[in-house]
Structure formats: structure tokens, C-alpha cells
Amino acid sequence: MTNSVFFWLALFLVPSAVWFLLQQRAKRRAATANPDVLDLDAEVLAEMAAVGVDLAKEQRLEFFLVLPTESAAREAATRIRAMGFEAEAVAAPPEASWVCLAQKSLVPHLQNLKSLRSQFDTIATSLGGEYDGWGSPVGE
């Protein structure tokens, strides 16, 4: 296997335990919360703060767009790279779909995250997919 394959296997098969817990907790709350007051970005920020992350400092954030085809994922990656992010199209075999993984180090301000959610949602929707949220490998 190439180094690239090992990198992607490590990225998706051995995710940070803290990141996983943050995402799962936010999803559980989303399932039971009133959709009118739900703010997933604020929820994840609160969880990060609760585990001791200094939100005033730059964090490595990862954003996920789920797309139906490789070409759609590659197009999303191209558009997102134009926004100053690192972005790659990655096969997601269990769901037989593709993921555009975008990464960037930035200070996680709520308003910026909401703006990014809107931009990523627009990109994903225009390509037949959906924006699946963000996280941070805070346990690494």
C-alpha cells in the first residue's frame, strides 16, 4: 500500500476519540432538540470548550461534505481549495458515496463557522450532496 492509502486509512479508521465523542454528542442532541433553537456549530464549540480547548487559539478544523459521485467530490474539493482550504475527495465505501474532506487551521468563531456552514451547504447541495458538519481532532 502507498503512503497515501495509509494516511487515509489512519484518517478514517483511527479517528480521534474526543472528536468522535463531540460529533456523537452533537448528533444525539440534534435528534432530540427543538429544530428552531438548534445550533450545531455552537454545540460543538461548547463541547470543545468543555474538554479544555482554548477557542481563542487556532484549531485544525475538518469539514465534511457527503457527495454521490467521485466527480462531485472532486468538484467540491476544487471549489473549496479556491476558498483557501486544503480539500480532498475520499471514497466512503460503507455508504457507497464520496466525501470531500476540507481542512484549515483557524480560530473557531461561531459567526465564521455559520458562514462556512452556509457556503459548504451551498456547494454540497449544488452537487447533489449535503454538508455533514465539522469537527476537530482535539485529542491528538
Q: Give the CATH H-level superfamily of domain 3-135.
A: RraB-like (3.30.70.970)
Q: What is the pLDDT of residues 8-57, one digit of tens each?
A: 434 444 344 334 444 555 554 554 444 444 688 999 999 999 999 999 99
Please give the mean pLDDT across all residues of the chain.
80
Q: What is the pLDDT of residues 125-135, one digit of tens each?
A: 999 999 999 99
pLDDT level of residue 7 (50, 70, 90 thresholds): very low
Alpha-carbon gap, residue 66 to 48, rounded angstroms:
23
Alpha-carbon gap, residue 66 to 131, rounded angstroms:
6
The amino acid occupying position 3 is N
Q: For residue 113, what are the contacts with CB-CB under 8 A and spacing of at least 6? A: 41, 45, 134
Alpha-carbon gap, residue 57 to 39, rounded angstroms:
22
